Amino acid sequence: MSNEEASLKREIGWYGSFAMGYADVGADIYVALGLVAFYAAGGSPLAFAIAATTYVCTGLAYAELATAYPYAGGAHVYAMKASNDLLGFIAGWAVMLDYTVNIALFSLATSGYLTFFFPYLRTLSLDLSMIGLPFSIPYLGLISFSIVIGLIIINVIGIKESSALNVILVTLNILVLSMIVLMGLIFAFNIGNLLNQIFVLGHPVPLPNVSYIFSSDYQFQNFLYGITIAMSSFIGIESIAQAAEETKKPYKWIPRANKLSILAVIVFALGLSTIGMGIIPWNVLGYSKADPMATLASAIPVIGQFMAPIVAVTGFAICLVSTNTGVIGVSRVVYSMSRFSLLPKWFYTTHKNFKTPYRTIIVFSLIGGFLTMTGTLELIADLYNFGALLSYLIVNISLIMLRNQDPSAYRSWKIPGELKINWHGRKIIIPAVSLFGAFMCTIIWSLIILYHPEGRLLGSIWILIGVIGYTVYRIKIKKPILSKETGKTIKPSGYNMNAVILLRTPEEEDKIVNMIRTGLDKRFSLTLLTILDPENYGLPPDKVESITEMKKLEDEVFSELSSIAAQLQKLGYQVNVKIRIGSLNSIIISELESEDNDILVFVKRKLFKKDFKKDFDDSTILYVTSKYPGKVMVLRRD
């Protein structure tokens, strides 16, 4: 398999998948809590609640779609499958904007929490001159850029290392936020304060960054603006889907990770905003946009002075993780779009040693890094919401379409609740949750178009540039702009099951290939495995001559397996070759217990052709079948 066609490695478990989704979404509250209070005033909890409905619907849509079609890329994959390549490109291009801005937004937020310990960083800047023109770069922007460079290095090395960073810091964040919610309720929360403030729907005076539609009633328009900012607290659930090809057992772990992430984010977003309005005035929280969580924690009596520094450190950590998730997300969506010829194939490349899409990681993370030089949270948040809401709208619509276009696709989990409509003699199924999700996405995205001038302008320019570039590229490679053929190549999850086939050598290649062709269809990715047990060859373990002999035998076996793999690849199978040296039974058990494998296939000859060295002991097969039901298959050949 060439370097350009190398696949991504499955190294993320269910908690790592949850941590990836929560990291991207859970960090948003560290930025949005202050920004939403600034615009929505005391009505912040209501703004968060309205935005949360969109998040829940879209999160559940991703939970179903990512298990049905577990490809890196998420939204653009579902859009291509449901409609055509152009809509798929727009969905993916919008997500790219989301992730690129995510890198900038949360690297800035990461450095912003440093100002709790080093307040002077807020005002310092580096003054420079280029071709005689003076300009300055805020120190916070320089720190943010340095953070992005560090994360690029980690992600090029591998997603396993990157995911481990997410898991550690997300766990710390959940513990600290739980403590704030609990201690805030016990020591500081006042229901009277909440009731006095919650009906103050919006900042009462005109504010910067808002493009007012009416020259009166600024307060309610500020509240509507606050809802659009609150939506940024719920952006990032697609991160779980982006890593679907690197998630172990995606059909099982992705729904769990999605639902846990939805629950955790809603509890903390609504809980913290509600507790905040019951503890401190909305304007105090609103004007602490750089570190709102630290401001909230410091207002808790008795423990506030101890909690505030801990919260600042945690805010730094979780925003760092969210930046990291942005790096993962943008690199995977570009990698996937290149695979499907929506972007140049140059990006569809993994590193020879690390198996990571290093070109996409470097190029698009640097774009996000350069955005940090502005040092402005509000402008970046505008762009963040624009791209995400557009892609979320397409995801909800795609789910509705695919329920009707591909009803037989295996779905390990489905959104409950369906509306069934008879239309010209045809039954149309509409998931009520996704219909409501599409409606809410449309409403909030429309509010972004109306009230966010920079987001409206720059977001539209981003989409326009993308569509023009896509059109030129498709003409260049002589592919239709509105092609539906690509969507036909996107197969449901059953086509991505991993089957390990145990083979003894030497084997008659043609008969083995024919047996696999008739016994296993192309729903399976195949690994041809031969186990070389020194005892079966009369070789004592750990002897120099034994090691030399086994190495020679290993080379011979690899050549035979590679020949079989080449024939299977010509038939359209995805095939890998693996050789393991050691105890036969121990290795069989380890392969069965590996989360990378969905099924283990034993190859048996006809009963009258039994040969110990070339066949498997029936007792071994009976034992593993009883211990690992549903994970063992036996194929017989002549």
pLDDT tier for residue 70 given thresholds of 50, 70 and 90: confident
Q: Classify domain 493-637 by CATH number.
A: 3.40.50.620
DSSP one-letter string for 14-27: HHHHHHHHHHHHHT
On the question of a common fold for 3-476 and 493-637, the answer reads no
Burial 357-375, CB ≥16 within 10 A → b, else e: bbbbbeebbbebbebbbeb
User: 509: which 2 tokens?
Assistant: 């290649």
What is the number of other CB atoms lying within 10 angstroms of the CB of residue 199?
10
Render pLDDT for 17-59 as a digit per residue (tens, 0 to 9). 787 777 666 677 777 889 899 999 999 999 999 998 998 899 8
Query: Average pLDDT for residues 294-323, to the nearest whole number?
Result: 84
User: 407: which 2 tokens?
Assistant: 């009803």
Query: Positive or negative, the Cα torsion across 435, 436, 440, 443?
Result: positive
- Give kind and range of the element (H or E) at residue 272: helix 250-277
480 three-class SS: coil
Query: What pLDDT is recorded for position 27?
Result: 72
For 259-263, 273-277, 419-423, which range has the lowest pLDDT when averaged over its residues?
A: 259-263
Residue 6 has pLDDT above 50, yes or no: no
User: 264: which 2 tokens?
Assistant: 């955790």
Query: Average pLDDT for residues 188-204, to the nearest whole number?
Result: 94
Residues with Cβ < 8 Å from 82, sequence gap 6 or more?
A: 397, 398, 401, 402, 405, 487
**CA 502 to CA 633: how far, in whole Å?**
10
Query: What pLDDT is recorded for position 18?
Result: 80
Q: What is the pTM of this model?
A: 0.72
User: 32: which 2 tokens?
Assistant: 């949005």
Query: What pLDDT is recorded for position 493?
Result: 67
Query: What pLDDT is recorded for position 381?
Result: 65
Give the bridge partners for 530, in sequence order: 579
DSSP letter (8 states) at residue 247: B
Query: What pLDDT is recorded for position 546?
Result: 62
User: 13: which 2 tokens?
Assistant: 């478990």
**CA 385 to CA 170: how far, in whole Å?**
23
Render pLDDT for 535-567 as a digit per residue (tens, 0 to 9). 776 666 555 556 677 788 888 888 888 889 888
Q: Rounded to the nearest 5 degrees, what angle is found at the Cα of 376, between the Cα atoms of 126 and 145?
A: 55
Nearest CA among 187, 232, 174, 209 for reference residue 33? 232
- Give kind and range of the element (H or E) at residue 137: strand 133-138
Place of tokens 């060859």: 537
Residue 250 has pLDDT above 80, yes or no: no
Instruction: Report CA-CA distances (Å) from 612 to 398, 539, 604, 624.
Output: 54, 16, 11, 18
Query: What pLDDT is recorded for position 256?
Result: 81
Q: What average pLDDT is seen over the chain?
A: 82
Query: Average pLDDT for residues 155-168, to the nearest whole number?
Result: 72
Render pLDDT for 163-192 as a digit per residue (tens, 0 to 9). 676 778 788 888 888 998 999 999 999 999
636 three-class SS: strand
pLDDT tier for residue 467 given thresholds of 50, 70 and 90: very high
pLDDT tier for residue 517 given thresholds of 50, 70 and 90: confident
Q: Are 486 and 88 in contact (CB under 8 A)?
A: yes
Correct CATH for 3-476 of 1.20.1740.10, 3.30.1310.10, 3.40.190.10, 1.10.10.10: 1.20.1740.10
Give the bridge partners for 414, in sequence order: none
Q: Are 82 and 405 in contact (CB under 8 A)?
A: yes
Cis peptide before 208 (omega within 30 of 0): no
pLDDT tier for residue 308 given thresholds of 50, 70 and 90: confident
Render pLDDT for 204-217 as a digit per residue (tens, 0 to 9). 999 988 899 988 88
Residue 135 has pLDDT above 70, yes or no: no
pLDDT tier for residue 154 given thresholds of 50, 70 and 90: confident
Indicate the domain borders of the chain.
Answer: 3-476, 493-637
